[in-house]
Amino acid sequence: MTPGDLMRAIVPVFPPSQTTGIRGGNLKGESASSELHCDPSQFFMLFDTDNDGLISFPEYIFFVTLLSIPEPSFSQAFQMFDIDNDGGVDKEEFKRMMELMRTANRQGARHRNGMRFGLKVTGSVDEGGLLEYFFGKDGKGRLEQEKFVQFLRDLHNEISRLEFAHYDYKSQGSISAKDFALSMVASADISHIDKFLDRVEDLDDEKQLRDVRITFKEFMNLAELRKELPSFSQSILSYAKNGLLSKQELKRAANQVCSISLSDNVVDLIFFMFDLDCDGTLSSDEFLRVLQRREQESSQPRESSFVGFFSGWLDSTNK
């Protein structure tokens, strides 16, 4: 697969609103279904073992296994890799823990050796080009926690950057209100997606919102809120009255619980999309459900599965 294919496999996107065919089978404006409206990611090509410009199936499994680590568990993950607890990880420790982690990954568990049932796919999942990045050409280097944690942060940020670039296909440095709305609902339950797409089209009739542009910083702030969703969703009950939030309550909850600043434009668009009865309050359940589905779509396994695996691993090592 190409880097674009890789992103499509993990991040749901709609075609940019300024092209045609929003509800067609292919993404809007695409000459082929695998194309995205953004430049290729050199970061993703760290997973390209043989430098052929493509991501193989074993390399893809390697990628999604690392991506399955939720951000609050980055440091915990490194502790798993650091088997002898000496503050660093060598290549063999890393490969062993990747093998164990794939048992908690739905796709990785089915294709543990990079072999896809019914297809002749060869090559070890653990020999991706990323190993050279971590351990050098001779494989004798050591990976420190700081570098590993920063790499995982960069990986998640790169996905958000590519998603923003997809909607900002004219390279204006900002995306339209409609495109931002599309990015928010792309992971909504299929039974509700038409309702949300109709709502996106209704933005054309909203004079105060239709010309709003969302900057990359504003886009990334909402992406950061999704990463903090477990703590945000648990604490939001103290801000919501009967499960309903005002605009100021939403902003205050994001800022005080997650130290994330949501701009007025972002909050206005969130309310336009999710305050369907237009009563000035937001149903936290429906809003959080869409954000949660997005996080579930872009990481496997679910965070609870990873934490459960980590807890089980700790128990076994302490026996």
Tokens standing for residue 191: 């039974």
* Rounded CA separation 281/134 (Å): 48
Do 153 and 230 belong together in one domain?
no
| pLDDT tier at 270, thresholds 50, 70, 90 | very high
| Between 288 and 114, the higher pLDDT residue | 288
What pTM value is reported for the model? 0.76
For residue 215, what are the domain limits? 174-297
Do 140 and 206 belong together in one domain?
no
Residue 169 lies in a domain: no
SS3 state of residue 55? coil
Q: What is the predicted pLDDT for the residue at 37?
A: 55
Do 20 and 142 belong together in one domain?
yes
**Whether the Cβ atoms of residue 89 and residue 78 lie closer than 8 Å to each other:** yes
> How confident is the model over 144-172, as a mean pLDDT?
88
Q: What is the predicted pLDDT for the residue at 111?
A: 44
Provide the 10 A C-beta neighbour count for residue 230: 15
* Rounded CA separation 217/259 (Å): 14
> How confident is the model over 260-278, as a mean pLDDT?
92
Do 145 and 51 belong together in one domain?
yes
Residue 140 lies in a domain: yes
Tokens standing for residue 198: 């109709």
Q: What is the predicted pLDDT for the residue at 297?
A: 57
Q: What is the predicted pLDDT for the residue at 72?
A: 73
Residue 168 lies in a domain: no
Residue 122 lies in a domain: yes
Do 253 and 182 belong together in one domain?
yes
Burial class of 36 by CB neighbour count within 10 A (0 to 12, 13 to 18, 19+): buried
Give 21's strand partners.
none
Do 105 and 196 belong together in one domain?
no
Shortest CA distance to 226 belongs to which of 272, 178, 258, 274? 258
Shortest CA distance to 179 belongs to which of 198, 162, 200? 200
> How confident is the model over 291-305, as a mean pLDDT?
55
> How confident is the model over 161-189, as a mean pLDDT?
89
Do 267 and 224 belong together in one domain?
yes
Shortest CA distance to 218 belongs to which of 287, 256, 284, 168? 168
* Rounded CA separation 296/76 (Å): 20
Do 179 and 290 belong together in one domain?
yes
Do 114 and 243 belong together in one domain?
no
Q: What is the pLDDT of residues 119-141, one digit of tens each?
A: 344 445 455 567 888 898 888 99
**Whether the Cβ atoms of residue 32 and residue 181 lie closer than 8 Å to each other:** no
* Rounded CA separation 13/71 (Å): 22
Do 15 and 140 belong together in one domain?
yes
CA angle 265/268/271 to nearest 5° reads 150
Residue 306 lies in a domain: no
Runs of H (alpha helix) within the chain: 3-10, 57-67, 74-81, 91-102, 106-110, 130-135, 145-167, 177-185, 193-202, 216-227, 229-235, 247-258, 264-274, 284-297, 303-317
What percentage of the chain carries pLDDT values higher than 70? 71
Q: Which among 57-61, 64-68, 134-138 has the top mean pLDDT?
A: 134-138
Do 237 and 93 belong together in one domain?
no
Give 213's strand partners.
176
Q: What is the predicted pLDDT for the residue at 220?
A: 96
Do 127 and 20 belong together in one domain?
yes
The total number of structural domains in the chain stands at 2
| pLDDT tier at 294, thresholds 50, 70, 90 | low
Domain of residue 84, CATH code: 1.10.238.10
For residue 285, pLDDT over 60 is answered with yes
Q: What is the predicted pLDDT for the residue at 49?
A: 61
Q: Which of 51-55, 156-160, 190-194, 227-231 has the lowest mean pLDDT?
A: 51-55
| pLDDT tier at 109, thresholds 50, 70, 90 | very low
For residue 178, pLDDT over 60 is answered with yes
Q: What is the predicted pLDDT for the residue at 305?
A: 46
